[in-house]
Structure 1
Amino acid sequence: MAIWNLGSINEDIVLSVPHIPAPGETLAATKREVFLGGKGTNMSVAAARAGTRVNHIGAVAKSATWTGERLLEYGVDTRHIVILDTDPAQAMIMVAADGENAIVLQSGANGEIPQAKLQEALSEADTGDWFITQNETNLQRTGATLARKMGLRVAYAAAPFDADRVQAVLDVLDFLILNAVEAEQLRQATGQGPDALGITDVIVTLGSGGADWYHQGKLSHFDAIAVDPVDTTGAGDTFTGYVLAGLDRGMPMAQAIGQATKAAALMVTRHGTADVIPDLSEVQDFQL
């Protein structure tokens, strides 16, 4: 089987700071690094490193073609990434000494993916493949609806959270993943908790608190693995990519979550985003 990811591709500009600045505060960064990133990219790299076939659907600016080339190096099929004469997609990421982060996004090419490219890509998909998308690109509702009609299993990562965009796809989802803050935002928008959305599988990630999995409304909890974090950026995306890869490879959800929990724990011990996502051998060798 395979995963088809309608996902963002960013240049991540990471600034190390003493702490996340308060409103009106100016801080001097202690370090600047540039990585491949974007929620979609991180998920694609994680799923590929977890051992499944990943096809990325997206767009990059002419000035940022290195991002697509790097994705290819990491084992992702990039034939359905279009190059546009537009602004590059960038994320400005501040990482504090305690590992917490704050992120500002410039959507650039991510918001200009042509519908024809989406349709062309999904014409190659097979029944039973997975389709995943997030809120950093255009065409989420179009892609999710088309994928469902074609017999794909449809997953959605509800970040960055937008109540209208999330609600627009709820009726075509097999799997929804969101963090605790996003789950509460969705509850406020819909009046429904994760157990009452009518979606077969919902995962709420809780950071160091682990994750809650709702299968047809029934709750199971999974503890996180205690590590000393240095950078939490991309940990949630790594978790999502590993869960989807496990499901695509035929794992039961509980086993896929267990493997993804290890991957996310390794990820927070590293500085960076897509470039430092652990591969399957590292996750399997990870000692609790």
Structure 2
Amino acid sequence: MPIPRILSFGDNVVDCYEDQKLMYPGGNCLNLAVFAHRFGAETFYGGAVADDPAGRHIRRALLAEGVDVSRLRSLPGNTAFCVIGSQGGDRVFLGADLGVSIVGPEAEDLALMSKVDAVHTGRSSHIDDWAPHIAARSRLSYDFATAHEIVRLMRVAPHCHLASFSGGELSREQALGLAHRAAGLGARHVLITRGAKGALLLSGSELTETRAEIITPLDTLGAGDTFIARVLTGLLRDERPADLLAAAASEAAQTCSWHGGFGHAAPMEVELHLSKSVAEIYRLTKAIPAPALT
């Protein structure tokens, strides 16, 4: 079976656990690069960190996990961070700063996209305008997270090989409706994770569902990214939908048994005075423009 090659391009942070005074590497794209490698893919991470304790820790963790960091840039400024609290095992975001993490693809990144089997990015990376450029070079995997609005769907879903959504608050009927909307716009596969209610995968007219594993979570951070990574690698290996969904549910449950997205704790060293609310970050952060596709 060929080994899938995946470039994960976009957001990264260190997740700072206030009660532990520890930071863990994280962010949707960073997590996916690590988990997809754990699931047997050859993975590359493209993004930006600063030359500070958090940035150096992210680079060390990626190297320790076997992820190729040749497209990880080092820029002046501060590495992105998110301050995490906990309520009953669920993550609570207390504040964040995106630092230097929001960057667009460079020529070398675009060249690499043409050589891999899939490119993953998502809402938190703020590069939606680049979706057609990515899809012209490779299969696009995109994490919409909780962004279900039709404007974003119309802009990105037509270019998606895999469109993933977080739908823990959705009923089954609402989740199915969302999946069919994304598929109707052109997404080849649509994944909706629903927390304790399981997940569904719509591939053309084929609908597959799985139950969540019943666990008492220590920390749910990274579970959704784990699920997406396992589904993406499974699709690239042409695994049966029922098998890859069951495996993804099991791996996501395993992720809930440790702190941080994929571990690698270090003493917390970030500029907390830069912290902003999540709402303020989404209000202030500008999307990275892309040139017209020719």
TM-score exceeds 0.5? yes
1:274 aligns with 2:262: yes
TM-score by length of 1: 0.79
Q: Which amino acid aligns with 1:145?
A: P
Select which of 42, 56, 74 maps to 1:83. Answer: 74
User: Match of 2:227?
Assistant: 239
Considering only aligned residues, what root-mean-square deviation do their CA atoms show, in Å?
Answer: 2.4
Q: CA deviation at 1:248?
A: 2.5
1:85-100 equivalences in 2 (<5 Å): 85-96=76-87, 98-100=88-90
User: Match of 2:236?
Assistant: 248
User: Match of 2:34?
Assistant: 45
Q: CA deviation at 1:132?
A: 1.1
Q: For residues 221-253 of structure 1, what are the alpha-carbon distances to aligned partners after superposition, in whole Å with 9 as ceiling and x for unaligned?
A: 210111111111111111111111222333223
Select which of 78, 97, 109 maps to 1:118. Answer: 109
Secondary structure of 1:109's aligned partner: coil
Where in structure 2 are there 5+ consecutive unaligned residues?
265-294
In structure 2, C-alpha distance between the alignment counterparts of 1:87 and 1:166, rounded to whole Å: 32
Secondary structure of 1:271's aligned partner: coil
In structure 2, C-alpha distance between the alignment counterparts of 1:140 and 1:118, rounded to whole Å: 16
Q: CA deviation at 1:94?
A: 1.0
User: Match of 2:49?
Assistant: 60
Q: Quick one: structure 1 residues 110 and 182, their matched pair in 2 at CA, closer, same or farther if it must change by over 3 Å? A: farther
TM-score by length of 2: 0.77
In structure 1, C-alpha distance between the alignment counterparts of 2:205 and 2:82, rounded to whole Å: 35
Q: CA deviation at 1:212?
A: 1.5
Q: For residues 256-280 of structure 1, what are the alpha-carbon distances to aligned partners after superposition, in whole Å with 9 as ceiling and x for unaligned?
A: 211111111111122222227xxxx
Where in structure 1 are there 5+ consecutive unaligned residues?
16-28, 277-288
Q: Judge conservation of contact 2:223–2:256 (CA < 8 Å) in 1.
A: yes
Q: CA deviation at 1:114?
A: 4.9
Q: Which amino acid aligns with 1:158?
A: F
1:109 aligns with 2:89: no
Q: For residues 66-105 of structure 1, what are the alpha-carbon distances to aligned partners after superposition, in whole Å with 9 as ceiling and x for unaligned?
A: 2122111101111111111122111111122x21111233
Q: Which amino acid aligns with 1:261?
A: A
Moved more, 173-182 or 5-14: 173-182
Q: For residues 33-60 of structure 1, what are the alpha-carbon distances to aligned partners after superposition, in whole Å with 9 as ceiling and x for unaligned?
A: 2111111111111101111111111111
4+ runs deviating over 3 angstroms: 113-117, 162-167, 181-184
Q: Judge conservation of contact 1:4–1:131 (CA < 8 Å) in 2.
A: yes
User: Match of 2:135?
Assistant: 148
Secondary structure of 1:67's aligned partner: helix
Q: For residues 137-168 of structure 1, what are the alpha-carbon distances to aligned partners after superposition, in whole Å with 9 as ceiling and x for unaligned?
A: 243431x3223212x22211113637454542
In structure 1, C-alpha distance between the alignment counterparts of 2:262 and 2:23, rounded to whole Å: 11
In structure 1, C-alpha distance between the alignment counterparts of 2:106 and 2:216, rounded to whole Å: 43
Q: CA deviation at 1:133?
A: 0.6
Q: Which amino acid aligns with 1:243?
A: V
1:3 aligns with 2:6: yes
Aligned length: 251
In structure 1, C-alpha distance between the alignment counterparts of 2:194 and 2:168, rounded to whole Å: 9
Select which of 205, 209, 216 maps to 2:204. Answer: 216
Moved more, 153-162 or 98-107: 153-162
Identity %: 26
